Structure 1
Amino acid sequence: MEPLVASPYSSSETPDLQQLFKRQQARSEALRREDAGPRAVRLRKLGEWIEQNRTAIQEALYTDFRKPATETDVTEIWPSQTELKHTLKHLKQWTSIQPVDTPLALMGARGWKQAEPKGVCLIMAPWNYPFYLAIDPLISALAAGNCAIIKPSEMTPSVAALLSRMAREVFDPAEVAVVEGDKEVATKLLKLPFDHIFFTGSPQVGKIVMRAAAEHLTSVTLELGGKSPVIVDETADLRDAAEKIVWGKGINAGQTCVAPDYLLVHEAVQEPLLAEMQAVVQRFYNATGQGVATSDSFARIVNQHHFERVAGMLEDAQQHGATVAMGGHVDARQRFIEPTVLLNPAADSRVMQEEIFGPLLPIRTFRTLMQATDEVNSRPRPLALYVFTQNKENQRYLLRNIPAGGAAVNETILQLAHPELPFGGAGNSGIGRAHGYAGFLAFSNEKSVLKQRTGLTGIKSFYPPYTPKVQRMVGWLLRWL
């Protein structure tokens, strides 16, 4: 990829991966014995570094794909800080022993759960939110007491180099290290027997990661993607819906795993919704009237390959009969694609078959909720479902009948920012959960412990030999306990 601006950061040399992995294995044994205190110290140091390097983070994101500084603050820095603060607030509670109730049949025993670190973890971060999606799982890994190796995407080299600098300045490499490089480096990393792999990216690469993890029976968290639908019924507040849909699609130029991917709108409100969306795009990205391409609030496609992919989808949609109702302008020199609405694309067109990951929004209409539900459910399960309605029964129907990794009602994107809501996919859109306590558990082995008293216990009544008395007691057990 050719960056829009020359990178001010220099890439570090790839370390000896075997040696680095062994160092972290050795260090992980010491971390296993630590309580919440030292973990909190590491997390605070990370938070301080983020605060002190806000400008550097903004510059790196702008260098890689001209991401606006304010958007970097909102989508990369703020959620990282939110996750840190939430984790520090609850860390002592999460790491403490969690008692559980004991059934009467096990009278005399008591049980509890205690979280223990998995060990050495691999975090494979994507290019679309290259800072936040490296830092967020790192916070969970450190909170759980693990060592971690981060593999950032080679498609965002400035952020990758910045993450390397962060690791060197904040952490002992035996605890946290960043390894830069291309697919070859990623392949070498996947051959190592990590204790957990946290991958964010496409379903296609996710399958490769899962196959590699299977060789070592390594647990995985796969945060993938898919085609996240937006359903707008005839009762929705159209102005409000238009603002939230355009915002959710416009962030990062549509290069977001939970971005609205396609819109299903009740046929009675398609035209007024489209008019509202056109007005919102002008307010958000063309306030000066000089065109969206001149806006300082709209990012660019990350590299030439992805620009050509998204531009090709636009062309394919039109060839399959879709009408460009808004936008449609592209500029290969800037890797710019205007926010574009496509009306009535064919079901077999690429924009309706592939995850778009760009600022194209196909719109199709429906008459009944069953029609909309059937269309969504004809595809693999999405990472996010967005429902815009003021009818509670319609809300219940759609949430109950459409499986998805997560959902938002009368909003887009923000379910990702709620630290108490576990985030993850279903089926093709992912495995496992992240953020908050769910992220802590993803990097932990939740050890179950039963402690029995010595001497007489209830279960001893069922020891052999299996006399008639024992058989009667077993019958009583099955009937009443």
Structure 2
Amino acid sequence: MEEKSAESIDQAFHDKEENIFEALFQDLGKHPVESYRDEVGIIEKSATNALNCLEKWMAPTKSRLPLLFFPAKGEVISEPLGVVLVFGSWNFPISLALDPVIGAIAAGNTVMLKASELAPRCASFLAETIPLYMDSNAVKVIVGGVDVGEQLLQQKWDKIFFTGSQRVGRAVMSAAAQHLTPVTLELGGKCPTIVDTLSSPSDIKTMVKRVMGGKWGPCSGQACIGVDYILVEEKFAPTMIDLLKKTIKTFYGDCPIDSENICRIVNTNHFERLHKLLEDPLVAASIIHGGSLDKEKLIIEPTILLNPPLDADIMTEEIFGPLLPIITLNHIQESIEFINSRPKPLTIYAFTKDETFMRQIVSETSSGSVLFNDTIVQFACDVLPFGGVGQSGFGRYHGKYSFDTFSHEKTIMQRSFIIDLEPRYPPWNDFKLKFIRLAYKYDYFNLLLLLIGLKK
């Protein structure tokens, strides 16, 4: 069933690619190239990887047991958890829905997928298409609003996988606790980007493009792993800002609001939330590029802010939109203290060639992941786990890690009747206590040597 399911997803995406592009455009205004890069391609790659690796993932893991247990053998096998509930997310309504589903069915589970109501065309596409390609006894798709989600959470599941906001994540975790259901929470956070001073013009140009790709590239900044703000030394900021402005024009033209290469804000509520962030007079005064909004089109152009107040909402809440604050520092090493004074982020991005500074960032900060000299590409790497820490979530998935997330690793141990150590049984005496002490301290072979006096 697992291989057939993965093949079915792959076939569905092959057959329905244009339908997916249209649904993503209707919901979010995504260009087909962005839709393929972030949605279709991700799922095709994930399904192919699962098909190619499933036999290896499923194979029992043999364990080499200590000689104390001789004669015995042990192994760990993966078994499905049972029936799992997956909540999709509206910003990547196809890939963030089906990527965990692939891991769940690869591990042998049956899945209930709750598609996001905030991306209604994509939700309808999943509900209508999945039954055509997959066994409805293995995977079911349900659509509906908050009330449907709440009803689903009242049921008993063997696993819940949720992608979304910290606020809703708390509600999911609270509901899951009623049944002691294990959960994986993929949440968000303010992902900082540290930009060290760079001397090479080509390196600076590449850095700026990658920062922009990580800020405005994924769904107009509406991404949990997107760049939230930049930390840079004051002396290097003008160079970076000047190139950011020029590259925005290259990417999106003279009037980004009319560009077909930028996604729209998902709905009026989110648009107004972002608008409100800019209404603070001190925040508005920090805008050095952009700031135009079109409520009818739900478009906000790429906007750069320089040193907005650190206690303003834009610097305390996850932005989740195309607004980019830049915070200047006297020394780039101050960025570590700045990050540590805030909740743990999902990802830290850092552009630097200083190996010592790299090690310092890794050892002195805590985050779901760290990526040096690029942004967001870690999400597409199946051989690395993806997940948060602290308020940015917990649990991990992608590739083999998805298979493990939806599996129970069951220990199997088999012993022989040949040898039975009497010191493990009553009645107790000093010799048995000494034997047990030595047994925990030494392996079986050395313990025998100790007992016959050949080893001190």
Same fold by TM-score greater than 0.5: yes
Do 1:321 and 1:344's aligned partners in 2 also have CA atoms closer than 8 Å?
no
Q: Where do 1:209-288 residues align within 5 Å? A: 209-235=172-198, 237-251=203-217, 252-286=219-253
Helix, strand or coil for the counterpart of 1:268?
A: coil
State the Cα distance separating 1:461 from its structure 2 match: 4.1
TM-score by length of 2: 0.94
- Alignment counterpart, residue 480 of structure 1, candidates 434, 442, 454: 442
State the Cα distance separating 1:466 from its structure 2 match: 2.2
- Alignment counterpart, residue 68 of structure 2, candidates 89, 105, 115: 105
Where do 5+ consecutive residues of structure 1 fail to align?
1-37
State the Cα distance separating 1:431 from its structure 2 match: 1.0
Q: Where do 1:190-201 residues align within 5 Å? A: 190-201=153-164
| Inter-partner Cα distance in structure 2 for 1:355 and 1:201 | 12
Name the residue aligned to 1:387. Answer: 350
Do 1:322 and 1:344's aligned partners in 2 also have CA atoms closer than 8 Å?
no
Going from structure 1 to structure 2, the CA distance change for 1:184 and 1:321 (only over 3 Å counts) comes to closer
| Inter-partner Cα distance in structure 2 for 1:115 and 1:59 | 39
Q: Where do 1:222-371 residues align within 5 Å? A: 222-235=185-198, 237-251=203-217, 252-286=219-253, 289=254, 291-316=255-280, 318-320=281-283, 322-371=285-334
Helix, strand or coil for the counterpart of 2:236?
A: helix
Name the residue aligned to 1:119. Answer: 82
Q: Where do 1:122-201 residues align within 5 Å? A: 122-201=85-164
Helix, strand or coil for the counterpart of 1:368?
A: coil
State the Cα distance separating 1:321 from its structure 2 match: 6.5
Question: Are 2:390 and 1:427 aligned?
Answer: yes
User: Which amino acid in structure 1 is aligned with residue 190 of structure 2?
Assistant: K
| Inter-partner Cα distance in structure 2 for 1:307 and 1:182 | 20
User: Which amino acid in structure 2 is aligned with residue 472 of structure 1?
Assistant: K
| Inter-partner Cα distance in structure 1 for 2:400 and 2:389 | 19
State the Cα distance separating 1:468 from its structure 2 match: 3.5
User: Which amino acid in structure 2 is aligned with residue 84 of structure 1?
Assistant: A
| Inter-partner Cα distance in structure 1 for 2:325 and 2:399 | 34
Identity %: 37
Name the residue aligned to 2:363. Answer: 400
Do 2:257 and 2:293's aligned partners in 1 also have CA atoms closer than 8 Å?
no
Helix, strand or coil for the counterpart of 1:114?
A: strand
Do 2:21 and 2:32's aligned partners in 1 also have CA atoms closer than 8 Å?
yes
| Inter-partner Cα distance in structure 2 for 1:370 and 1:465 | 63
Deviates more, 1:399-408 or 1:352-361: 399-408
- Alignment counterpart, residue 20 of structure 2, candidates 52, 57, 61: 57
State the Cα distance separating 1:62 from its structure 2 match: 0.3
Do 1:235 and 1:391's aligned partners in 2 also have CA atoms closer than 8 Å?
no
TM-score by length of 1: 0.89
| Inter-partner Cα distance in structure 1 for 2:234 and 2:50 | 45
Name the residue aligned to 2:426. Answer: 464
User: Which amino acid in structure 2 is aligned with residue 129 of structure 1?
Assistant: F
| Inter-partner Cα distance in structure 2 for 1:417 and 1:405 | 15
| Inter-partner Cα distance in structure 1 for 2:332 and 2:409 | 41
Number of residue equivalences: 439
| Inter-partner Cα distance in structure 2 for 1:72 and 1:370 | 37
Helix, strand or coil for the counterpart of 2:216?
A: helix
Helix, strand or coil for the counterpart of 2:305?
A: strand
Deviates more, 1:327-336 or 1:38-47: 38-47
RMSD between superposed Cα atoms in Å:
1.3
Q: Where do 1:434-449 residues align within 5 Å? A: 434-449=397-412
Do 1:263 and 1:362's aligned partners in 2 also have CA atoms closer than 8 Å?
yes
| Inter-partner Cα distance in structure 1 for 2:235 and 2:387 | 33
Helix, strand or coil for the counterpart of 1:128?
A: coil
Where do 5+ consecutive residues of structure 2 fail to align?
444-456
Name the residue aligned to 1:378. Answer: 341
State the Cα distance separating 1:41 from its structure 2 match: 1.5
| Inter-partner Cα distance in structure 1 for 2:332 and 2:248 | 28
Deviates more, 1:255-264 or 1:86-95: 86-95
Do 1:369 and 1:398's aligned partners in 2 also have CA atoms closer than 8 Å?
no
- Superimposed CA distance per residue, residues 174-223 of structure 1 (whole angstroms, 9 cap, x where no aligned partner): 21111100000000000010000000000110000000000000000000
